[in-house]
């Protein structure tokens, strides 16, 4: 459960697990999709950004 300020109804709502419609890992973090109590689809970005996978060569 978490709270979210809905962009459609402008209310702060508690979001329960039953309202979550999707979770996706992206390069920017974890995107949680859910439906507000007013019926509007919403998303929230959470978590950390994807770790860099670039190889670094250190000079000796």
Cβ neighbour number for residue 27 with a 10 Å cutoff: 6
Please report the DSSP string for the chain in residue order: -EEEE-TTT--EEEE-GGGEEEEEEETTEEEEEEE-TTS-EEEEEESPPPPP--------
Cβ neighbour number for residue 15 with a 10 Å cutoff: 19
pLDDT per residue, tens digit, the chain (60 aa), is: 899 999 999 999 999 999 999 999 988 999 999 999 999 999 999 987 766 666 767 776
pTM of the full structure: 0.74
């Amino acid at each position: 459960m978490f709270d979210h300020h809905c962009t459609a109804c402008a209310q702060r709502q508690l979001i329960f697990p039953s309202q979550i419609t999707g979770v996706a890992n992206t390069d920017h973090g974890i995107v949680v999709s859910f439906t507000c109590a007013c019926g509007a689809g919403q998303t929230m970005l959470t978590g950390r950004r994807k770790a860099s996978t670039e190889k670094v060569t250190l000079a000796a």
